[in-house]
C-alpha cells in the first residue's frame, strides 16, 4: 500500500514538474522560430503582425509568443505598438549608421578573439558554407543567402566563446537583417560580392590583421554600400 500511495503522489508531482519544463521548451522554440524569421527577412519593416496571428502561424498559444516578442522588443529588434500589434522598426539613416558602426567595431574584434580557436576543420566548414552562398547568389535566393551568410559569420564568432560581445552582435543582426532583405529584393543578389574567401585565407594563415580587414570589408560592402544606396533613394 505504501508503494501504491507513493506512486499516486509521485504521478501528479512528476506531471506538475514537467509542465514548466514544457512551457520553457515551447518558449525556446518560439524564440528560435521568430529570430530565424527576423534573420532571413521574413518580417518586413513597417508591416505589423498580431500576437495571436503569429501564435496561430507557429501553432502555439499566445503566451510564449508575447514573452518572446517583449524580449526582442527590449533588444530593439521589434517594437510593440499601443494596439498590441508588433512590427520591425523602420530603418532610418541615423539608425543604419549606428548599426553599421557597431558591426564594424564589434565583429572585427570578435573575429580576432575567435582566431586562436579556429582550426583547419573550421576553415573547411567555412569553405563549404561559402560555396553554398556562391550558388545562392547566382540563383537569386535572397532568403537562403541571408541564412547562410549568418551561418558563416557566426561559425567564426562562436569560436570565441564570448559571453558579452556575442549576444551584442546577435542583437545587431536582428536589427539590420529585415531591412537588408528588402535591399536585396530591390537590387538582387547576382552582383553581391562577399569577402568570405579572404576571411578563410586569413584563418588558414592565422593572420589576425587580415581577418579583421576581411570582416570589415565584408560588412562595408555587403551592408554599408547597398544599404546607404537604398536609403538615399527618394
Instruction: Provide the pLDDT for residue 16.
Output: 41
Instruction: Provide the pLDDT for residue 189.
Output: 73
Instruction: Determine the distance from the C-alpha atom of residue 39 to the mean position of all C-alpha atoms in its chain, rounded to a whole number.
Output: 4
Q: What is the per-residue pLDDT across 71-101, written as a single tens digit (0 to 9) for each?
A: 999 998 998 888 878 899 889 999 999 999 9
Q: What is the mean pLDDT of the chain?
A: 86
Using H for helix, E for strand and C for coil, what is the string for the chain?
CHHHHHHHHHHHHHHHHHHHHHHHHHHHHHHHHHHHHHHCCCCCCCCCECHHHHHHHHCCCHHHHHHHHHHHHHCCCCEECCCCCEECCCCCHHHHHHHHHHHHHHHHHHHHHHHHHCCHHHHHHHHHHHHHHHHHHHHCCHHHHHHHHHHHHHHHHHHHCCCCHHHHHHHHHHHHHHHHHHHHHHHCCCCCCCCHHHHHHHHHHCCHHHHHHHHHHHHHHHHHHHHHHHHCCC
In total, the chain counts a number of residues equal to 234
CA distance 181 to 106: 22
Using the predicted structure, report yes or no on whether residue 15 has a pLDDT greater than 70.
Answer: no
Using the predicted structure, report yes or no on whether residue 8 has a pLDDT greater than 60.
Answer: no
pTM of this structure? 0.84
Q: What's the average model confidence in pLDDT over 56-85?
A: 89
DSSP state of 84: S
CA distance 92 to 106: 21
Confidence band of 233 (pLDDT split at 50, 70, 90): confident
Instruction: Provide the pLDDT for residue 42.
Output: 87
Name the least confident of 66-75, 105-114, 160-169, 218-227: 218-227
Q: What is the per-residue pLDDT across 153-196, written as a single tens digit (0 to 9) for each?
A: 999 999 999 999 999 999 999 999 999 988 887 877 766 778 99
Using the predicted structure, report yes or no on whether residue 212 has a pLDDT greater than 60.
Answer: yes
Q: Return the closest-CA partner of residue 77 out of 39, 51, 106.
A: 39
Are residues 206 and 183 in contact, defined by beta-carbon separation less than 8 angstroms?
A: no
Confidence band of 108 (pLDDT split at 50, 70, 90): very high
Using the predicted structure, report yes or no on whether residue 14 has a pLDDT greater than 60.
Answer: no
Among 36-40, 62-66, 115-119, top mean pLDDT goes to 115-119
Question: Domains along the chain?
Answer: 2-87 (1.10.10.10), 93-231 (1.20.120.530)
Amino acid at each position: 500500500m505504501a508503494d501504491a500511495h507513493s506512486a499516486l503522489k509521485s504521478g501528479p508531482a512528476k506531471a506538475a514538474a514537467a509542465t514548466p519544463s514544457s512551457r520553457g521548451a515551447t518558449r525556446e522554440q518560439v524564440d528560435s522560430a521568430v529570430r530565424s524569421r527576423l534573420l532571413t527577412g521574413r518580417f518586413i519593416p513597417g508591416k505589423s503582425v498580431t500576437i495571436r496571428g503569429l501564435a496561430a502561424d507557429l501553432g502555439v498559444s499566445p503566451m510564449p509568443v508575447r514573452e518572446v516578442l517583449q524580449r526582442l522588443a527590449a533588444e530593439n529588434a521589434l517594437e510593440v505598438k499601443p494596439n498590441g500589434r508588433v512590427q520591425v522598426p523602420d530603418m532610418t539613416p541615423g539608425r543604419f549608421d549606428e548599426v553599421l558602426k557597431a558591426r564594424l567595431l564589434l565583429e572585427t574584434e570578435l573575429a580576432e578573439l575567435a582566431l586562436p580557436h579556429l582550426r583547419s576543420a573550421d576553415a573547411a566548414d567555412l569553405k563549404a558554407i561559402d560555396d553554398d552562398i556562391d550558388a545562392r547568389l547566382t540563383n537569386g535566393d535572397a532568403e537562403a543567402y541571408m541564412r547562410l551568410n549568418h551561418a558563416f559569420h557566426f561559425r567564426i564568432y562562436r569560436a570565441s566563446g564570448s559571453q558579452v560581445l556575442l549576444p551584442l552582435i546577435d542583437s545587431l543582426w536582428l536589427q539590420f537583417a529585415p531591412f537588408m532583405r528588402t535591399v536585396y529584393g530591390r537590387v538582387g543578389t547576382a552582383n553581391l560580392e562577399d569577402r568570405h574567401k579572404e576571411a578563410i585565407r586569413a584563418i588558414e594563415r592565422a593572420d589576425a590583421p587580415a581577418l579583421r580587414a576581411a570582416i570589415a570589408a565584408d560588412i562595408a560592402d555587403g551592408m554599408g554600400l547597398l544599404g546607404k544606396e537604398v536609403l538615399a533613394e527618394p
